[in-house]
Every structure is written in structure tokens, then in C-alpha cells.
Structure 1
């Protein structure tokens, strides 16, 4: 695992950001692997929604483990979004991440946002980070702060304070979803660790984010939501009988039945437990 973890660390180069697409099941992860992405993450919304559960409520502990088992043979480096670690006991969080590492996972996102819309006390998050670092040396701990997403009065000051605390606890990266574009360069300079931001349609592209010092750009739930949107668009076009409905879902970029079957045969392992 150490060599794979080291390879994942090496992909984080400030100024040359890693594009980390986020998958939610075996098919989406295998397709991204076939497309040549060296590393993928999971999307907590996609994993939760696919299981019929709400996101951000600590309800997908088992689903994340099961997905990691399904993806363990893919030729990619996998990092898993574990929300807040599914426990407020740092030792339990470390035990859970150790299970994931045993399945070949090389990184985790560990966030400070809580289901009630507040931020976890920084000392609790620090304890979780330190416990994971001690239990699984080498694993990439991406510490996420939801200072902007939760609408704090002074999100920049809170994010910078937490960035320092999380770094000192042993975090390998800082993730600040929702940070305004005009704060990214400052965050990258002050974080002291590779900065991860969320891709925003219509926002800065990879090259511009690289110039701002970003080391990693995640797609988050975007791919999952785009897939749902495309499915609804095709279904609605067929139902409406609109012009071109006979060609709905038959574009040149649409994966064929045979391609999906071949993909599953190439990367599938049939293991779920």
C-alpha cells in the first residue's frame, strides 16, 4: 500500500492540479479507469443516493466499505469520502480508515461539517486526523472544511485557522469546497499543504486554478448529477415524442451495450464481501 500511497501523494503538484473525478459505483469507476484517469475519488452524495440514503448524515459506513471492495481491482488509485468518519470517537474513525486501507484505498476525505449545519469542534477534527495518521501512516488524509458551505460569518478566517490546526495534526491536504475564486490563491499560499478545490461549472479551469497554486480539483457530485440529468433528458424526449426522439440516447458518444459489458468483464470481480 505504501508504494501506491506514495504514487497518490506524488500526483498532488501545486500549479499542476490533479483532476480527480468522483465515482459512485463500479460502472462509473470502471469507465473512468478505462478513460485513463490515474486516480478517482468517491462522491458521498452519489454513494448515498444510489443506496437510497441521505448524504452527510453518517448513514453510508457499510456502503463505502462495500464499494471499496468492489473497486479494489481497478487499475486506479482510490480515495474515499468518509464524511466525518462515521463516528465522533477518533479511535473508531481510525479503525474504519484502517479497514479501507486494507482494501487498497490510498486516501480519505475527512470533513468537519455536521448534519445539524454546524462545524465540528476543531479539537475533535484534529484528534481524528491524528488518530488516522498514527493508524495508517502514508495514507493521504484530505481534511475538508465546510466553512463556506455552512455559511459561517467569517469563513476565510475560520478556514485559515482550521487549515493550520489540521496541518499540524498531520493532514496531507486541505479541501475547501465553496471557497470564492478570489480566496483560492491566499488559501493555497497559507494552507501549507496541497490545496483541493471543487470544480465549478463556469468557474476557473484547471490551468487557471493551477496558476493560483491549486494541487487538486475534484468533480464532487457533478458527474453523478450529470448522469441523472442525461437519463431524465433521454426519457423525457422519448416520452414527449419530440422531433428526433427516435435518435434519443443514440449519440456517437453514448457507451454501447457491448462496451459496458466488456468493461465489466475487464474490471469486474464479482466480490462484494
Structure 2
């Protein structure tokens, strides 16, 4: 289980609580920096990740969205400069699914540039961006996952997959499967029993912290 710090202070809280690794959420960092999800400039995202990495002594994986249009070699170099040891890479851009074979070719270039220095978590967006019902989303996710694993991805992340779909995804995908845990809705341990081998929380902790702050301000009133 990798919680998602959006700043250095939050990262320290998670590390002090005993989590052995962290995974930054791009949406959480965007909110903390005053941007809409998906609108954070690459320089700001890499700088935020670097601050988080410097704040803790545990490994950090970074959500770097769809790569900011950077060539694979430059993308890997900039990621490694932050000190991160892993990354999420999405297979959609501006709300549209990429051609899976073209994306797999791009992932292969990322893997070639990274060697064994980066854990690549290949996000599959069929449950977010695809058309059709849940069964079709599962089938498309499995098809895409096979291409991404063959390209060198270490893990596949069918984001938004309902828990009920995890057994089918686990059965159809070679290699680890990342699941998204929604705070207050799913027990991460249950996701593991259903087939997830890696659990992340997206921007859930950042949104909860913001909601708690709003409730506290409302309870005590503005000065």
C-alpha cells in the first residue's frame, strides 16, 4: 500500500506512520499548487516531487501523467533528477485513449532509457475513457495490459476498475496489478484479496485533508 503525499509535510506524516513507500498523486499535487487536474506544468510537477523525495527516507514513485510531451530519454532523466524511483504513466491524453500499440512502443522507449532504475506503473484508462460497459472495459484493459507488460512495464494500473472486476483482471494480466482504494469506500485489504498486488490512493488523502480543514474552519468561524 502506497499512500499519496501532495507535499513534503504530508510525506513525512506517511513515512513516520510506517509506510515503506509512497506514490505521489498528480491530482493532489495539482490542487496543492493551485492547478486543475492535468494542468500542472512539468517544471512545477517535477519540483514538487523532488521536495517530497527530499523530505523522506522511503522510496517515492511519482505520477507524471502522460509524460508532458517529453521525449522518453528526457522524461526519464528529469524523473531521476527528482530522486523518485518509480512512475505512473497514463495511456490517455486530454481525455482520449491513445492507440495501445503506439503507447506500448512509447513505453518500450521509456523502459530502454530507464533500464532497471525506474519502476514503471502503466496506467490503463479504459474504465475512465473507454466506451461500452464494465465487461468491455475489462477486456480492453487486459488487451492493453498485455502490450504494456511486453513493452517492459513492471505493473499495470486499470484505474477506476470496480472491485468486482479485480478477479478477472488478476486472471487475465501477467504481472502485478495496481488498484485504486477510495478512502471510506473500500478496505485496501479487500482489494488485495480480490487480486490487487499494489494499492494506491490517488488524491484521496489530499481531498480528505482539505475537507477536514474546511469543516474545522466552518466550526470555528472566520476571524
Match for residue 107 of structure 1?
A: 86
Q: Is the 8 A contact 1:199 1:219 kept in 2?
A: yes
Q: Is the 8 A contact 1:94 1:128 kept in 2?
A: no
Matched, 1:149 2:128: yes
Where does the alignment leave 5 or more consecutive residues of structure 2 unmatched?
none
Equivalent in 117, 123, 129 of residue 101 of structure 2: 123
Q: Is the 8 A contact 1:47 1:63 kept in 2?
A: no
CA–CA separation in structure 1 for the residues paired with 2:206 and 2:195: 27
Deviation per residue, 1:161-212 (Å, 9 max, x gap): 1011101111000101111222101111211111001002454423322222
Matched, 1:68 2:49: yes
Matched, 1:21 2:3: yes
Return closer, same or farther for 1:121/1:75 CA change in 2, 3 Å cut-off: same
Return closer, same or farther for 1:112/1:158 CA change in 2, 3 Å cut-off: same
- Backbone CA RMSD of aligned residues: 1.8
Match for residue 199 of structure 2?
A: 217
Match for residue 86 of structure 1?
A: 68
What TM-score, normalized by structure 2, do the two folds share?
0.91
Deviation per residue, 1:197-254 (Å, 9 max, x gap): 100245442332222221111110100100110010000011289xxxxxxxxxxxxx
Secondary structure of the residue aligned to 1:20 is coil
Higher RCO, Cα 8 Å, sep 6+: 1
Match for residue 115 of structure 2?
A: 137
Q: Is the 8 A contact 2:65 2:90 kept in 1?
A: yes
Q: Summarize the alignment of residues 1-273 of structure 1 with structure 2, pairs less than 5 Å apart.
A: 19-57=1-39, 59-73=40-54, 74-87=56-69, 92-115=71-94, 117-138=95-116, 139-153=118-132, 154-239=136-221
Q: Which structure has the bigger radius of gyration?
A: 1
Match for residue 246 of structure 1?
A: none
CA–CA separation in structure 2 for the residues paired with 1:79 and 1:232: 29
Where does the alignment leave 5 or more consecutive residues of structure 1 unmatched?
1-18, 242-273
Give the total of aligned pairs.
218
Deviation per residue, 1:19-60 (Å, 9 max, x gap): 110011111111111111110011111111222222124x33
